[in-house]
Amino acid sequence: MHFAIETQNLCRIYKIRGGKKTEPKELLALEDVNLQIRHGELFGLLGPNGAGKTTLIKILTTLLAPTSGSAIVAGFDVVKNPEKVRPRINMVSGGESSGYGLLTVRENLWMFSQFYGIPSNIANQRIKQLLDIVGLSDRINSKSSDLSTGLRQKMNVVRGFLTDPDVLFLDEPTLGLDVGASREIRHFIRKWIDDDQTRTLLLTTHYMVEADELCDRVAIINQGRVLACDTPATLKHRLQGEAIYRMEVSPLNGTNLQDFESIAGVHKVTHRAQDGFSILELILAQDDVISSVVNTMTAGNIHILNLQKREPTLEDVFVDLVGKSIEEMESDADIEST
């Protein structure tokens, strides 16, 4: 069987030029990525900022050349036959406002459909339907410069589905959209895939829920490497033997955290500071380890405000693989960059 998307040892190195005299630094953005995505699959790439998700999408959509390795999309090699790949794919990236501001929403979308050679009447019909679905039909004749960032993004999402591609790439499609709009778009994404088994969709996200609830299979990616790739259920099943607890306690500092990690049977602890309290997520070898944790807390004069056992989530799988939660990694990165 051949795949809708297949990559072999895909690598991408960015050369970062500093000053004129300094040697360019090399940044390994993708390292030996091997993925096989089947026709009809809704596949998610889950990873923190800088994991390499966008880089992978750019290579698969013929925007960027890989440094080594190869990729086949919709039956053709993205490096050797980009012009064969292009009519069969489309891509949307979230969180940006693209489009010709002086054209209306309809004109923007119509123009793109024409580049794909879609008969004008069919294109117009699809534009109406899709705008209806994202709740933008009352703005069809507005100049796109008059739309808010979120509405422009909806227009951009419509542009992606408009050409009915064999393989659609969505790079953080719900980034910056409100809760309601995100839900509608997720709903539509799922329906689009279920309606036609020849369609394939690859989306990237750093929202755990999006990956968990929406995708058939998920690859967890960090620092350019695919750490795991399976259905959300199977990924979570890895943690079945372990016990997962969520605690709210009085504010902690770093030294306390190490105390917990050194308790026998505590696999991973993540910590999030809130206003006036701390949230701890603990992955434990089994349930009775929680009593040692509670004892250590009492000894350290830490008050427990709330304690819950819960089912494993993809977040826990990520923590288990990487050692940190996506949120922690991103706040670390924020601290480094300031």
Ligand X SMILES: Nc1ncnc2c1ncn2[C@@H]1O[C@H](COP(=O)(O)OP(=O)(O)OP(=O)(O)O)[C@@H](O)[C@H]1O
Q: Which of 5, 37, 54, 186 binds ligand X (CB under 6 A)?
A: 54
Binds 98: which of ligand X, Mg ion, another protein, none (CB < 5-8 Å by kind): another protein
Q: Applying CB under 6 A, does 14 fall inside the site for ligand X?
A: yes
Which of 49, 74, 121, 12 has its CA nearest to residue 331?
49
Amino acid sitting at position 165: P
Q: Tell me, rounded to whole angstroms, the distance of Cα 105 from its chain centroid.
A: 27
Binds 159: which of Mg ion, another protein, ligand X, none (CB < 5-8 Å by kind): another protein
Binds 72: which of another protein, ligand X, Mg ion, none (CB < 5-8 Å by kind): none
Binds 205: which of another protein, ligand X, Mg ion, none (CB < 5-8 Å by kind): none
- Three-class secondary structure of residue 220 per DSSP: strand
Question: Which CB sits closer to another protein, 24 or 323?
Answer: 24
Q: Phi then psi for 236, rounded to 5 degrees?
A: -70, -30
The answer to whether the CB of 324 falls within 8 A of the CB of 281 is no
Q: Applying CB under 5 A, does 205 fall inside the site for Mg ion?
A: no
H-only helix segments in the chain? 53-60, 82-85, 105-115, 120-133, 149-162, 179-195, 208-214, 232-237, 254-261, 289-299, 314-322, 326-337
Strand partners, 310: 244
Question: Which CB sits closer to ligand X, 175 or 279?
Answer: 175
Residue 326 neighbours by CB distance under 10 Å = 22
Question: Which CB sits closer to another protein, 169 or 318?
Answer: 169
Give the shortest CB-8-to-another protein separation in angstroms.
19
Q: Applying CB under 5 A, does 54 fall inside the site for Mg ion?
A: yes
Q: Applying CB under 6 A, does 65 fall inside the site for ligand X?
A: no
Give the shortest CB-200-to-ligand X separation in angstroms.
20
Residues 312, 327, 308, CA angle at the centre, nearest 5°? 35
Question: Which CB sits closer to another protein, 77 or 288?
Answer: 77
Binds 101: which of ligand X, Mg ion, another protein, none (CB < 5-8 Å by kind): another protein
The answer to whether the CB of 261 falls within 8 A of the CB of 270 is no
- Residue number of the CB closest to Mg ion reads 54
Q: Which of 53, 186, 199, 217 binds ligand X (CB under 6 A)?
A: 53
- Three-class secondary structure of residue 239 per DSSP: coil
Binding site for another protein (CB under 8 A): 14-15, 58, 61-65, 83, 86-87, 89-91, 93, 96-103, 107, 111-112, 114-117, 159
Side-chain-side CA neighbours of residue 155 (13 Å): 32
Distance CA 32, CA 19 (A): 30
Question: Which CB sits closer to another protein, 102 or 305?
Answer: 102
Total number of residues that touch ligand X (CB under 6 A): 13
Binding site for ligand X (CB under 6 A): 14, 16, 27, 29, 47, 49-55, 206
Binding site for Mg ion (CB under 5 A): 54
